[in-house]
Amino acid sequence: MTYKLPDASDFPGPNNADRGPVVLCILDGVGLGLRDGGDAVFQANTPTLDRLFAGAMAIQLKAHGTAVGLPSDGDMGNSEVGHNALGAGRIIAQGAKLVAAAFQDASAFGETWQWLTQSGTLHLLGLLSDGGVHSHIDHLLRILEQADREGIERVRIHLLSDGRDVSARSVLGYIQALEQALGEVNEGDRDYRIASGGGRMNITMDRYEADWPMVQRGWNTHVLGEGRRFESATQAVETLYAEDPKINDQYLPAFVIQEDGEPIGVVQEGDGMLLFNFRGDRALEFSSVAQGQDTPVDRRGAPTFRFAGIMQYDGDLKIPARYLVEPPQIDATVGHYLAANGRRSFVVSETQKFGHVTFFFNGNRSGKLDDALEEYVEVPSDVVPFEQAPAMKALEITQAAIGAIASGQWDHVRLNIANGDMVGHSGDLAATITAMEVVDSCVADLEAAVVKAGGVLLVTADHGNADDMWMRDKQNQPKMDGESILPKTSHTLAPVPFAIVDPHARWELSETPEPGLANVSATLLLLCGLQPPTDYLPSLLQVRS
């Protein structure tokens, strides 16, 4: 496929001496919420964002549900699908939708499933919630149903508690639903049980190689059966809650279920293990270890076992080699078109979101699209709870971007500032307000740099999060625990902002029906002097009349 595009000379970028780069600043997790006491975006002192988002060159974009390829408009957006949409220019069916369809028509249970379940115990590992961002409990229940139907006698479940895409302390409800389903299956000649668990931000689900010890702890827990022992998952969670009233499900310590003093879910030679998370970023590292690749994790003499993912998490690296459902196929991204047409791109974020502005933005592809035309800069994230350091690496990211803007070397600069999402997931309202004030300061500095360079600045977000830090009832009133409001740690259904800083005053907003994140792609190409492809959703901008 050729990615050549006709030129659009309205804004050719720094190839023209008086034009700076087109800068796309993605404020991760910054939605437009209810503007009340639980809205950290509204509560924060953010004069720059307030001015930009209330200006004549600002609109709201859809960032959840069907607008980003999810099954329904009740599904929250997330960073993966948001960056896919920003880079793809079209609405692409995402993992949750693809997996649900493959389970409905049973196409998921083909050759890989038969290979995985041919002998031994079937181990099922994944995030236990209905958040729909990394996994869904309905998928797990469907897998159990199929295993029972096919006569698989022994299943062990290794659960990861969420507390991030769902309520902070909600895992007991999901365990209860799972235990009920297991009880019904076990009335027959089956032995299906929960074997281990722990919080998603404590074990197993690291990403971008930020904290390999997380993966080591997960390996020890799920595969080797090492960890603090309990008689049941319910007992484990209740005990851990009681011991630390402030802990939420994200950070629960690892636990192992025992019977007669022995762990019940140690992986044995010839067993099969399925990772039922469909999102790739937090599944890649464990998958790499499980299929025997060279990683910092010590497998510690673990036996050989068959491993598959519910999807393939990285098509370039072939991780995992075996999977049940074909992942989204995204070609012809903004990155492809920029590189093929000689536009030079500088991309920067910190570790926690680095893969989002590279891998996901580029259609789930590892590495650069063109070494000669692209520079990717990763600022290492601190390995601390984000509410304890709410500035994260926003200042360092911003300074790197400003350096690129001032250099005159780049047609396009792309950055992700992660604070609204990563601190927002903590549920700490005060810390998230602080985080948003840091973000505002960074955007002010970026704006000044872009104006000085004669460029164009686009400010948007990938989904909501910091815009609502309160759990709410159906009337949007805060839910209470005694005299305290229950904190919200998950994403939201809020629209996100889109604002343009255009010192040349060449552009105005176009009449775009139901604009969403995917419309940003054509906008970016047009500003970089390229006519967008005909299959892209239309640009949010047009030349000023």
Q: Which of 402, 372, 292, 316 is nearest to 25 (CA)?
A: 402
Within 312-430, strands assigned E span: 323-325, 345-350, 374-379, 412-417
Q: Quick one: which H or E segment has residue 182? A: helix 171-186
User: What is the SS3 string spanning 78-141?
Assistant: CHHHHHHHHHHCCCCCCHHHHHHHHHHCCCCCCHHHHHHCCCCCEEEEEECCCCCCCCCHHHHH
d(CA 481, CA 288) in angstroms, rounded, equals 42
Q: Which of 137, 108, 156, 150 is nearest to 310 (CA)?
A: 108
d(CA 409, CA 375) in angstroms, rounded, equals 11
Provide the b/e sequence for 55-79 (b: ≥16 CB within 10 Å): eebbbebbbbbbbbbbbeeebbbbb
Residues 122/147, Cβ–Cβ less than 8 Å: yes
The pair of structure tokens assigned to 66 is 């069907």
- The amino acid sitting at 524 is L
- The three-class DSSP label of residue 520 is helix
- The three-class DSSP label of residue 481 is strand
Residues 279/133, Cβ–Cβ less than 8 Å: yes
- Strands 154-161 and 191-199, how do they pair? parallel
Candidate list 79, 129, 167, 349, residue with the active-site label: 79
Instruction: Verify whether residue 196 is a known catalytic residue.
Output: no
Residues 163/237, Cβ–Cβ less than 8 Å: no
- Strands 484-485 and 480-481, how do they pair? antiparallel
Torsion angle in degrees (nearest 10) through CA of 271, 272, 273, 274 = -160
The pair of structure tokens assigned to 326 is 């074909």
The length of the chain, given as a count of residues: 545
Q: Which of 250, 332, 237, 331 is nearest to 532 (CA)?
A: 332
DSSP structural state of residue 371? T
Half-sphere exposure at residue 160, Cβ-oriented, CA atoms within 13 angstroms: 31
Torsion angle in degrees (nearest 10) through CA of 347, 351, 353, 356 = 60
- Strands 272-275 and 262-263, how do they pair? unpaired
Please state, as a whole number, how many other Cβ atoms lie within 10 Å of the Cβ of residue 508: 14
Which residues form the catalytic set?
A: 79
